């Protein structure tokens, strides 16, 4: 991996150019990266995020996940290798620095002081 790359994109296309089956592979992989904190609360990694680019399901992964959660990083690497998926570089480190970490999906986005209902 290039040292100036802050993230990479796992695309739902094999190196042979075929769409990955089953079609819900992204949901399954993203779900396997989540952690259950309590009985009713699940958290998702702030180092990964699912995206849809040009009709192709993809997973954007921060390279820093390798240090933060080596098991999750290894899971992604194995998934890519087993399914022969295309991987491309994402944003460079300078671009990624300006945006900070991805917003976690499970965080409350409403302001409780303005919540009228």
pTM as predicted: 0.71
Cβ-based burial of 47 (10 A; exposed 0-12, middle 13-18, buried ≥19): buried
Residue 101's CB: how many other CB atoms inside 10 A? 12
CATH class of 7-99: alpha beta
Q: What percent of the chain has pLDDT over 70?
A: 70
Strands 56-62 and 85-89: unpaired
Q: pLDDT tens, 66-116?
A: 998 899 999 999 999 999 999 988 876 555 444 455 444 434 444 444 444
More confident residue, 53 or 74: 74
């Amino acid at each position: 991996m290039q040292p100036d790359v802050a993230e990479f994109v796992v695309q739902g296309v094999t190196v042979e150019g075929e769409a990955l089956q089953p079609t819900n592979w992204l949901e399954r992989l993203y779900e396997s990266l989540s952690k259950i904190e309590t009985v009713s609360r699940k958290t998702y990694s702030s180092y990964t995020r699912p995206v849809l680019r040009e009709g192709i399901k993809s997973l954007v992964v921060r390279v820093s996940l390798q240090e933060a959660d080596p098991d999750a990083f290894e899971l992604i690497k194995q998934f890519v290798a087993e399914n022969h998926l295309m991987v491309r570089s994402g944003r460079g480190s300078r671009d990624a620095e300006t945006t900070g970490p991805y917003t976690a999906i499970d965080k409350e986005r409403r302001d409780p002081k303005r919540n009228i209902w």
